[in-house]
Amino acid sequence: MEENSMAEVFNDIKKPENLVYSKSKVLTDNVMHYCPGCSHGVVHRILAEVIEELGVQDKTIGVAPVGCSVLMYNYIDIDWQEAAHGRAPAVGTAINRLWPEKIVFTYQGDGDLAAIGTAETIHACNRGENMIMLFINNGIYGMTGGQMAPTTLKGMKSSTCPFGREPAQDGNPLKITELLAQLPGTSLVTRQAVHTPAAVRKTKKALLKAFENQKQKKGTSVIEVVSTCNSGWKMTPVESNKWMAENMFPFYPLGDFKDE
Partner 1 sequence: MSELRLMKGNEAIAEAAIRCGADGYFGYPITPQSEVMETLMTLRPWETTGMVVLQAESEVASINMLYGGAGSGKRVMTSSSSPGISLMQEGLSYMAGAELPCLVANVVRGGPGLGTIQPSQSDYFQSVKGGGHGDYKLIVLAPASVQEMADFVELGFDLAFKYRNPAMILSDGMIGQMMEKVELSPQKERWTNEEIEKMHPWATTGKRPDRERNIITSVELDSEAHETFNNKLQAKYREIEENEVRYELTDVEDADYLIVAYGSSARISAAAIEILREKGIKAGLLRPITLYPFPSKKIKELSGGLKGVLSVEMSSGQMVEDVRLAVEGKVKVEHFGRYGGVVHSPEEVANALEQKLNGGK
Ligand X SMILES: Cc1ncc(C[n+]2csc(CCOP(=O)(O)OP(=O)(O)O)c2C)c(N)n1
Positions touching ligand SF4 (CB under 6 A) are 34-35, 38, 40, 68, 138, 142-143, 229-232
Site for Mg ion in 161-190 (CB under 5 A): none
Contact between 190 and partner 1 per CB under 8 A:
no
Residue of 83, 194, 200, 206 interacting with partner 1 (CB under 8 A): 83
Contact between 69 and ligand X per CB under 6 A:
yes
Phi and psi based region of residue 43 (left: phi greater than 0; alpha: psi -120 to 50; beta: remaining): alpha
Contact partners, residue 196, CB within 8 Å, separation at least 6: 241
The torsion angles phi and psi of 189, rounded to 5 degrees, stand at -130, 120
Contact between 68 and ligand X per CB under 6 A:
yes
Number of residues that bind Mg ion (CB under 5 A): 3
Could you tell me the smallest distance in angstroms from the CB atom of residue 135 to ligand SF4?
13
Nearest residue (CB) to Mg ion, 26 versus 72: 72
**DSSP 3-state of 113:** helix
- Choose the binding region for ligand X from 11-19, 140-148, 153-161, 198-206 (rule: CB under 6 A): 140-148
Q: How far apart are CA 2 and CA 216, in angstroms?
A: 56
Q: How far apart are CA 87 and CA 98, in angstroms?
A: 17
Q: How far apart are CA 191 and CA 137, in angstroms?
A: 10
The torsion angles phi and psi of 109, rounded to 5 degrees, stand at -80, 180
Contact between 34 and ligand X per CB under 6 A:
no
Could you tell me the smallest distance in angstroms from the CB atom of residue 184 to ligand X?
26
Q: Where are the beta strands (DSSP E) in the chain?
A: 60-64, 79-82, 103-109, 132-137, 140-141, 147-148, 186-193, 220-226, 255-259
Binds 112: which of ligand X, partner 1, ligand SF4, none (CB < 5-8 Å by kind): ligand X
Nearest residue (CB) to Mg ion, 109 versus 219: 109
Q: How far apart are CA 107 and CA 207, in angstroms?
A: 12
Contact partners, residue 136, CB within 8 Å, separation at least 6: 39, 40, 43, 67, 69, 107, 108, 109, 110, 225, 227
- Choose the binding region for ligand X from 51-59, 133-141, 177-185, 241-249 (rule: CB under 6 A): 133-141
Query: Which DSSP category does 216 fall into?
Result: T
Binds 144: which of Mg ion, partner 1, ligand X, none (CB < 5-8 Å by kind): ligand X
Site for partner 1 in 27-66 (CB under 8 A): 57-61, 63-64
The torsion angles phi and psi of 158, rounded to 5 degrees, stand at -150, 175
Contact between 173 and ligand X per CB under 6 A:
no
Contact between 183 and partner 1 per CB under 8 A:
no
CB 35 within 8 A of CB 196: no
- Closest residue by beta carbon to ligand X: 109
Nearest residue (CB) to ligand X, 41 versus 219: 41
Q: Which residues bind ligand X (CB under 6 A)?
A: 66-69, 85, 109-112, 136, 138, 140-144, 149, 229
